[in-house]
Structure 1
């Protein structure tokens, strides 16, 4: 498998808010399988562009059957001159391979995610329009837990991580809190990158008090992570990062994060 394969591009829509490519990135398996990744590039401006990598979550019923397409986030970031990539991990959508995880062992599950995240970042770093020295890695729900696991081995060009309502839990069974708490503690001891954590008060997955305990465990050994309580958002806050208004709320802290770590883009669009 080539280091970077690109699906035949669709005709350019001059009215689109971004330019879109679908990439087939090689996993770290032997032999590798393809990780299907959607890349959103700013519609105007000359690259290479700073990059936000967004790692998807996981439905209770099993792997998602459709590609991750965080269009609300892509719109906000590309308008600020920042590219967004949405890789699909093994076993999700039309990526190859299988993904095996269970809420009873969130540590192992997140480490599995981290390998695919690392492979995606490696492949994206070779893209000619991506600035490999200016990358922020983010994730939602289960993908956020994988993102924090990736912090143990993050490449030098990754300057920060973002946790959008991260974790892995049982749908109905009791006992999921302690294994998840220990996973956060484990990653906090070993991370090499600063992080921004977003949680809310009407998230049906995580009570805000649980989220604060996760954060306390993560930073207990000195990890750098700012916790942001977004309050109440609409009827269900867990999917806030996939909502236009939710992204607008988070962007107030996301864009300064890029600037704070020297990734302010010179390619902002009107």
Structure 2
């Protein structure tokens, strides 16, 4: 009896290790039995907005990205029709980047899913389950290369956009690219590429190099960041909308306004909203349900105008109407949408 009880955990452990090994083989960056990684859906859909793990290509074929996909409910008729895509791109914390879980941004994702979008949240190279080197961190705080760093991150986003818009349940155009913090900066870098699949860019508190040397409202290479933005904007033709809070400790209102002025003067389209102080740190404006009432009406209006200005061949999601914001918004630059 004691012997049997002693052997059972060993057997269970062996089976668990076998399953772990099979899973690792299935999603390994470079499979030993094939030249290409296994891409696409991995595992069943969950109950929460049809949540599912996906494996996506990145900017480097050796490091496929892990991603979370959320989808609207199947139509009452039983048809799982094509939906426009939203790609939500996460920020970066150097001290925790390898320990972070899969990006979800539940309330931001749900805002779009409720409006009929398929949402994908890729985990870029150098973060969490995707792992690998942090390819998008080029230079150091004293000598950062914000332009090249943004482009490397944009390579990952571009790969995700192209792969997902080829899926049968996703529209081939009309995609919206959304970014938070460094993900916002990467989304602005992507806008310079004018991908035919992408219709607009949404930037929440975007930038790079915040909290320089551990100090609030200090930015590594502030002038270099503005210079890089100028180059991106010179090429960007897509409409963009930006949200920053007055109490953002990474990228405060003065920097946000300077960045928007730089972007606009270089020919980029920008509608910027400086929001009133939000929570303990306004850098988290995209993180919870309250954000729907703060930035939601402006984003609804922006997306409606974008659709009217650049109609696509596929059916777009319907708006749910504007809600009264609970905080005052101040728009610093609001040119007509391109």
Provide structure 2 residue ranges, at least 5 long, that are not aligned to the other structure. Answer: 1-35, 308-314, 321-338
Partner Cα separation in structure 1 for residue 293 and residue 181 of structure 2:
19
- The residue number in structure 2 matching 1:221 is 266
**Structure 2 residue 68 is matched with structure 1 residue 38:** yes
- The residue number in structure 1 matching 2:228 is 183
CA contact (8 A) 1:19 1:41 kept: yes
CA contact (8 A) 2:174 2:316 kept: no
Partner Cα separation in structure 1 for residue 276 and residue 94 of structure 2:
25
Partner Cα separation in structure 2 for residue 156 and residue 200 of structure 1:
31
CA contact (8 A) 1:160 1:195 kept: yes
CA contact (8 A) 1:74 1:83 kept: no
Instruction: Return the offset for 1:123.
Output: 1.0
Partner Cα separation in structure 2 for residue 63 and residue 190 of structure 1:
31
Runs of 4+ in 1 over 4 A off after TM superposition: none
Q: Normalised by the size of structure 2, how large is the TM-score? A: 0.72
Partner Cα separation in structure 2 for residue 54 and residue 73 of structure 1:
9
**How many residues in Structure 1 have an aligned counterpart in Structure 2?**
263
**Structure 2 residue 60 is matched with structure 1 residue 25:** no
Q: Normalised by the size of structure 1, how large is the TM-score? A: 0.90
1:184-207 Cα offsets, whole Å, 9 max, x none, are 111111212110011110111112
Partner Cα separation in structure 1 for residue 55 and residue 102 of structure 2:
13
CA contact (8 A) 1:184 1:215 kept: no
Shift of the 193–91 alpha-carbon distance from structure 1 to 2, 3 Å rule, reads same
- The residue number in structure 2 matching 1:51 is 85
Shift of the 266–199 alpha-carbon distance from structure 1 to 2, 3 Å rule, reads closer
After the TM superposition, which of the residue ranges 170-179 and 249-258 deviates more from structure 2?
A: 170-179
- The residue number in structure 2 matching 1:110 is 150
- The residue number in structure 1 matching 2:198 is 158
CA contact (8 A) 1:198 1:227 kept: yes
Larger radius of gyration: 2
Of 225, 247, 252, which residue of structure 2 is paired with 1:207? 252
1:74-130 Cα offsets, whole Å, 9 max, x none, are 222111212211011111111153223144221111111011111111111112111
Of 121, 134, 138, which residue of structure 1 is paired with 2:161? 121
- The residue number in structure 2 matching 1:253 is 298
Structure with more relative contact order (C-alpha pairs < 8 Å, separation 6 or more): 1
Provide structure 1 residue ranges, at least 5 long, that are not aligned to the other structure. Answer: none
